[in-house]
């Protein structure tokens, strides 16, 4: 699975939109882009995922660049509860089935972006 690069931290004001960037210049054609977030002292939770087209759900929107080398997670109105570490992860659904153990089926979580939300 290809590597992603995210800023270490970002700040936002409450009720303002937040754009969390992710670079993945080595993405392959079959890699899906997944976003998870981890609230303090909790396990991560799924946010959204996509392949090529922009995606929307109740939590966020995912904007994917036309060349797919970058993507942006958009929180339309940040709340204090959105303060968390956001992870951008690439996953090829077919990867790992014939490759070495350890990469099969799991999502590789990097350090992510720590989002702070100010009231």
| 101 CB-near residues (< 8 Å, 6+ apart) | none
Helices and strands counted in the chain (H then E): 0, 9
Binding mask 28-67 for other proteins (x = CB under 8 A): ----x-x-x----xxxxxx--x------------------
Tokens in use for 106? 């799991």
The whole-angstrom separation of Cα 39 and Cα 51 is 25
Question: Least separation, in Å, of the C-beta of 101 and other proteins?
Answer: 5
Compare residues 79 and 106 and give the one whose CB is closer to other proteins.
106
Contacts of other proteins in 78-107 (CB under 8 A): 87, 91-96, 101-102, 104-107
Question: Least separation, in Å, of the C-beta of 48 and other proteins?
Answer: 10
Question: Least separation, in Å, of the C-beta of 60 and other proteins?
Answer: 14
The whole-angstrom separation of Cα 90 and Cα 80 is 27
Are 18 and 74 a contacting pair, CB within 8 Å? Answer: yes
Are 107 and 114 a contacting pair, CB within 8 Å? Answer: no
By CB under 8 A, tell whether 7 contacts other proteins: no
Residues that bind other proteins (CB under 8 A): 32, 34, 36, 41-46, 49, 87, 91-96, 101-102, 104-112
């Amino acid at each position: 699975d290809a590597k992603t690069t995210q800023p270490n931290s970002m700040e936002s004001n409450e009720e303002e939109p937040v754009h969390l960037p992710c670079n993945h210049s080595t993405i392959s054609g079959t890699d899906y882009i997944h976003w998870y977030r981890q609230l303090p002292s909790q396990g991560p939770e799924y946010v959204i995922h996509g392949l090529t087209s922009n995606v929307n759900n109740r939590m966020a929107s995912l904007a994917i660049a036309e060349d797919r080398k970058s993507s942006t997670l958009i929180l339309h109105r940040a709340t204090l509860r959105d303060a968390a570490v956001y992870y951008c992860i690439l996953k090829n659904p077919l990867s790992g089935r014939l490759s070495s153990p350890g990469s099969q089926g799991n999502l590789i979580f990097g350090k992510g972006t720590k989002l702070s939300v100010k009231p």
